[in-house]
Structure 1
Amino acid sequence: MRAKVDYWLVPVGDAPPIEAIAADYQEQRFRPHWHEGYAVGAVTRNKQGFRCRGRDWIAHEGDLMLINPREVHDGYALDGGWSTRMTYFEPAAFAALVPGLRGSPGWFAAPVVRSSALFDLFREWHDSTRVGLRVERLAQTAPLMAALSRTMQMESPVQTVTDSVLRIVSGPDGPMPASAAEGTLADESARPSRTTSWRRVKASTGVSSKILSSQLRLSDAKRQLASGAALVNAALDAGFYDQSHLSREFASAYGMTAGQFRRRQVENADRMRTQPDGATAMPLRVGRPTSAT
């Protein structure tokens, strides 16, 4: 993976912080995954390919990418890589920031949006999140969230990972460990009812039960790391073979290692204890720098 990634966190009242990324990717390929919150990003150089909602999409320079909570997608380079600015909002944080919202904010209607006004507004807001203020205090936050809310609908997209899907995949004992997930196909023949359920899961999400089980383990490990858990403990508790296994899987889904993610989370927690009105002031650089044009 040849990439330059800057990663920082921006506090949002009492809600979980917004994750912000500015990245330049040359050969990156993200595995199918989902986020627990809303992903909002802009392509600032070249173009990016990704699969979502049962088809392939291309986001060109100047386009916005809008991904819903638990909406399965991947990502891959096209013709020389791409540069992007991304943000990840937990649902509670997103809802709290939409002016005048009552109830659920709904779902993004389309994963790619071309609007020069919205692109410019998002890019200006994204730049302003680096200055060290809570997001509520940034002048661009209210107009951006109002504009994003106008791209949404109340009907859910087809391929989201619902709670019922998670119950089927995880079973009564939590996320399937890696050793069990690798034997899924062999085990299915002895359990026709579960096989039928897993086929329905693939039809509704577009990915296999093995990929979904892996993502459940990643989500579990990510929550533990955000709470300050040690890498080895998070890896084993979430069902990975070891710390290295977690870091490889983490990087293929999120573009940084588990250790790099945990370090920024710990830094943010420490800073918020001493500077409750500020965000993480300095971004974390991940990966090997490459030149961006």
Structure 2
Amino acid sequence: MTEEKIEYWRNPIVPEMELSTASFQHFEFAQHVHLDYHIGVVTQGGQKYQHKGESYHLSKGCISTLNPDEAHNGQSVEEEGYQANVMSIPITYINQITSELSIREQFFSSPLSWAPDLHQAFLHLHKNLTSPHAKQAQLQIETSLMAFTTELFERYGSVKKLSHQQHALSSQQVVDIKSQFHDEMHNVFQLDDLAASVGLSKFQFLRQFKAATGMTPHAYLKRVRLEYAKKALAKGEAVIDIALQVGFFDQSHLNKAFKQAFLITPSHFQKRVI
């Protein structure tokens, strides 16, 4: 690895959030601070850095959680260099999440944690946020980002809880949301709109829907789409037409989701059942 570079993205789903991928071999970060929360992982090699007088080694399976205004540096552990993915989350977004969690103070207690599950979740989320199809997958991405950020703070944050009474999602409202997914599965749903329709914040709606159904809104909607796709395939309809009818933005995305769920491609399934 010889090329030193950083590539940046922004996603309209969280306009102030900065996303980056980097490859470094000899470049070293001097002592510096950030204005936002910096979450990062390495995908190759390792990075070492100094933080409040302690040395840390960021390797695969670990996740770096740096609070705003905390000084640190950074350099490669190995001569071959390292690759890293970083997500810079604005304070305003974190404040929204922690407010919904009834947290009075929010900061990470350590700049580095061993968390293979969150390492993988971060990579998947980062990939989705930097995808050219991100806008079409907004419900999925918003759900994943909220769940990931919440898990980070609940697992590694130093927090003080406040008591807070929340409006509950009623059984009828759950039924109404499900019916909307069934009746309008071809539509692009926005988490803001779904939450507003039942008088909840996005975060409250996400948590309460999952508590009521055992699935996130995105996961439920995706499964509904796949179930209807199976029925259409059994009737002999064209795969590309089915993809659009049930809400996937092209045939390849239906193929990927279908195989992940049923271990067979839509075309192979159709041949088996007709």
TM-score when normalising by structure 1: 0.48
Provide the residue aligned with 1:75 in structure 2: 74
Measure the CA separation in 1 of the matches of 2:96 and 2:12: 12
* Contact persistence 2:63–2:113 (CA under 8 A): yes
* Contact persistence 2:98–2:106 (CA under 8 A): no
Quote how far apart the aligned CAs of 1:58 are. Answer: 0.9
The residue identity in structure 1 corresponding to 2:55 is D
Quote how far apart the aligned CAs of 1:39 are. Answer: 0.4
* Contact persistence 2:76–2:82 (CA under 8 A): yes
Quote how far apart the aligned CAs of 1:103 are. Answer: 4.8
Runs of 4+ in 1 over 4 A off after TM superposition: 134-137
Measure the CA separation in 1 of the matches of 2:113 and 2:35: 21
Q: Which runs of 5+ in 2 are unaligned?
A: 161-274
Quote how far apart the aligned CAs of 1:121 are. Answer: 0.9
Provide the residue aligned with 2:30 in structure 1: 31
Quick one: structure 1 residues 136 and 72, their matched pair in 2 at CA, closer, same or farther if it must change by over 3 Å?
farther
TM-score when normalising by structure 2: 0.51
Provide the residue aligned with 2:106 in structure 1: 106
Measure the CA separation in 2 of the matches of 1:22 and 1:153: 28
* Contact persistence 1:10–1:135 (CA under 8 A): no
Quick one: structure 1 residues 118 and 125, their matched pair in 2 at CA, closer, same or farther if it must change by over 3 Å?
same
* Contact persistence 1:107–1:154 (CA under 8 A): yes
* Contact persistence 1:5–1:21 (CA under 8 A): yes
Provide the residue aligned with 1:94 in structure 2: 94
The residue identity in structure 2 corresponding to 1:85 is N
Calculate the aligned-residue CA RMSD, in Å.
2.3
* Contact persistence 1:41–1:65 (CA under 8 A): yes
Measure the CA separation in 1 of the matches of 2:138 and 2:94: 11
Quick one: structure 1 residues 154 and 146, their matched pair in 2 at CA, closer, same or farther if it must change by over 3 Å?
closer
* Contact persistence 2:98–2:104 (CA under 8 A): no
Measure the CA separation in 1 of the matches of 2:98 and 2:122: 14
Matched, 1:126 2:126: yes
Residues 186-205 of structure 1: pairs in structure 2 closer than 5 A: none
Matched, 1:154 2:159: yes
Measure the CA separation in 1 of the matches of 2:49 and 2:29: 9
Residues 47-58 of structure 1: pairs in structure 2 closer than 5 A: 47-58=46-57
Quote how far apart the aligned CAs of 1:6 are. Answer: 1.7
Q: The residue matched to 2:128 in structure 1 has which SS?
A: helix
Measure the CA separation in 2 of the matches of 1:113 and 1:11: 29
Quick one: structure 1 residues 123 and 99, their matched pair in 2 at CA, closer, same or farther if it must change by over 3 Å?
farther
Larger Rg: 2
State which of 141, 145, 148 in structure 2 corresponds to 1:144. 148
Residues 162-177 of structure 1: pairs in structure 2 closer than 5 A: none
The number of residues matched between the two structures is: 153
Q: The residue matched to 1:69 in structure 2 has which SS?
A: coil
Q: The residue matched to 1:87 in structure 2 has which SS?
A: strand
The residue identity in structure 1 corresponding to 2:152 is L
Quick one: structure 1 residues 72 and 116, their matched pair in 2 at CA, closer, same or farther if it must change by over 3 Å?
same
Higher relative contact order (CA 8 A, sep 6+): 1
Deviations 1:188-240 (A, max 9, x none): xxxxxxxxxxxxxxxxxxxxxxxxxxxxxxxxxxxxxxxxxxxxxxxxxxxxx
Measure the CA separation in 2 of the matches of 1:103 and 1:77: 36
Provide the residue aligned with 1:63 in structure 2: 62
Quote how far apart the aligned CAs of 1:94 are. Answer: 2.1
Deviations 1:50-89 (A, max 9, x none): 0101121111122111100100001011212111100111
Quote how far apart the aligned CAs of 1:145 are. Answer: 1.3
The residue identity in structure 1 corresponding to 2:94 is F
The residue identity in structure 1 corresponding to 2:25 is Q
Deviations 1:96-152 (A, max 9, x none): 345833354511111111111111111111111013339665141122012111210
Q: The residue matched to 2:150 in structure 1 has which SS?
A: helix
Measure the CA separation in 1 of the matches of 2:139 and 2:16: 12
Measure the CA separation in 1 of the matches of 2:44 and 2:4: 14
Quote how far apart the aligned CAs of 1:12 are. Answer: 4.6
* Contact persistence 1:23–1:83 (CA under 8 A): yes
Q: The residue matched to 1:147 in structure 2 has which SS?
A: helix
Q: Compare 30-39 and 141-150 and name the one that shifted more.
A: 141-150
